[in-house]
Amino acid sequence: MKQVLVLVADGTEEIEAVTVVDVLRRVGAKVTVASVMPQMATIAASRGVKIVADTILRPHLFDTQWDALVLPGGMPGAEYLGLSAEVVTLIKNTKAAGNIIAAICAAPAVVLGRNGLLEGAEATCHPSFQAELAHHTTVSSARVVDAGWLITSQGPGTAIEFALKLVARLYSPIEAAALAEAMVVDIPI
């Protein structure tokens, strides 16, 4: 069973976080949602939706070999993620293990770019952050970019494509296509 960690904070974009959790759980992934807010398992997402995380970011999460680490966007959620030394360590550990970092919306620029974690991988992000992202890496205008260890996407409207790309990478393109069909999603996988 694939293990995926989705990090959330106050101001996380709820569509991006919940869509990834939903899609990955449909395919059988063990998804853990962790709040980076100190002592707060329930976060207030960017549009006021309350999300109850499975756990608070704690040291025991560093003992797991995550197949993918997901960084939703939204502001100031992405800023909270990017300012967390623990999140930066998780990103480095996940990448060093050869596993996937997936970032959407503001997160590619705010979390990865600002922390010098892009290492020249082509990426995309929300259009309002693309100028900032360009200071750190090559920017693509694609809705979803798969750069091997890094999967990035533009925002709430691309969240299902982003999640299905994760399914394709973690499981297979065939499983992603079958899931897209079952969900009545008409996008190329």
pLDDT tier at 89, thresholds 50, 70, 90:
very high
Task: Sketch out the chain's domains with CATH numbers.
Answer: 3-182 (3.40.50.880)
How long a stretch of residues is the chain? 189
Q: Based on the residue annotation, tell me whether 125 is a catalytic residue of this protein.
A: no
Cβ(44)–Cβ(9) below 8 Å: no
For residue range 116-140, what is the model confidence (pLDDT) as tens digits?
999 889 999 999 999 999 999 999 9
pLDDT given for residue 51 in this prediction: 97
Packing angle, helices 14-26 and 173-182, rounded to 10 = 110
**At residue 33, what is the residue type?**
V
Strand partners, 153: 104, 144
Q: Which of 81, 105, 151, 170 is catalytic?
A: 105
